[in-house]
Amino acid sequence: MYDRFTTQRLIDLWLSEDIGACDLTVQLMIEPDETGAFRMNAREPMVLAGIDVAASVFSRYEPRLSVKVEAADGDRVEKGATLILVEGPAQGILTAERTALNIVQRLSGIATETARYVDIIKGTNARLIDTRKTTPGLRMLEKHAVACGGGLNHRLGLDNGVMIKDNHIAVCGGIAQAVERARRKLPVLTKLEVECDRLEQVREAVAAGADVIMLDNMPVPEMKEAVAYVAGRAKLEASGGIRYETIRAIAETGVDYISTSKITQSAPAVDIGLDEA
């Protein structure tokens, strides 16, 4: 889910960055009255995200274009699938092409990577969540892509929840003191999470009344102990060192959430092309 008004402002920035003063190649070679018809197609299997944003790029730059979206965000599409059909003034299509492709390739890459992790932990109670390690300026859309891939969103921003980390604890003098300070003015519908890397800290966080406890880089055997000790009194999030090879064992400890930045920071862009229809 993303805000379309904000996205339109982003599209203006992307187009301005790519075009500069003008698309010199198109202006020199393509006449204003020439038309074209093209199809955006998947060149590999993927989970789709950002297809409506890509369509909006074409429409924003050249409103006279006919843009027909043939697939939906969250769809698992096969190689060769048609994603968008666009036709009309050729200058507009060719100028906006790269910007439209860039965003849908990036977001679909995130959705596809997210789905890979989600598939590995199927059958457990754990849910995959993202982090704030996103591309500056693209957080809203990258978190939308995570949702398209079957993941959940953690905090959208610093104003979206209270996360008490080791440095906060150090300044406040301990977990109990940090939680007590935060609780004084905490909005009633806002969750409070405490980061812990040792079992003794988990016990302190439970006693302090944390809503969520992050098990930060904790070995699997200790995670199991933490799950048994907490016994549902708080939600548990596992974080740190999450990889394809480790996530299933972590999910099987009984944690509620597993967070990783790899789905946004390390996801490769997928291969999508625009070819003549």
Is 75 an active-site residue?
Answer: no
Catalytic residue among 113, 142, 195, 256: 195
Cβ-in-10-Å burial (0-12, 13-18, 19+) of 259 comes to buried
Is 165 an active-site residue?
Answer: yes
User: With the CA atoms of 254, 255, 260 and 263 taken in that order, what torsion angle do they form, in degrees rounded to the nearest 10?
Assistant: 60
Is 216 an active-site residue?
Answer: yes
Is 143 an active-site residue?
Answer: no
Beta strands in the chain (DSSP E): 35-42, 46-47, 66-69, 76-77, 82-89, 127-129, 162-164, 192-196, 212-216, 235-239, 257-259, 272-276
Catalytic residue among 76, 132, 133, 224: 133
Is 235 an active-site residue?
Answer: no
Buried b (16+ CB within 10 A) or exposed e, 46-70: bbbbbbbbbbbbbbbbbeebebebb
Catalytic residue among 43, 70, 76, 98: 98
Catalytic residue among 23, 142, 216, 237: 216
Q: Which residues are catalytic?
A: 98, 133, 165, 195, 216
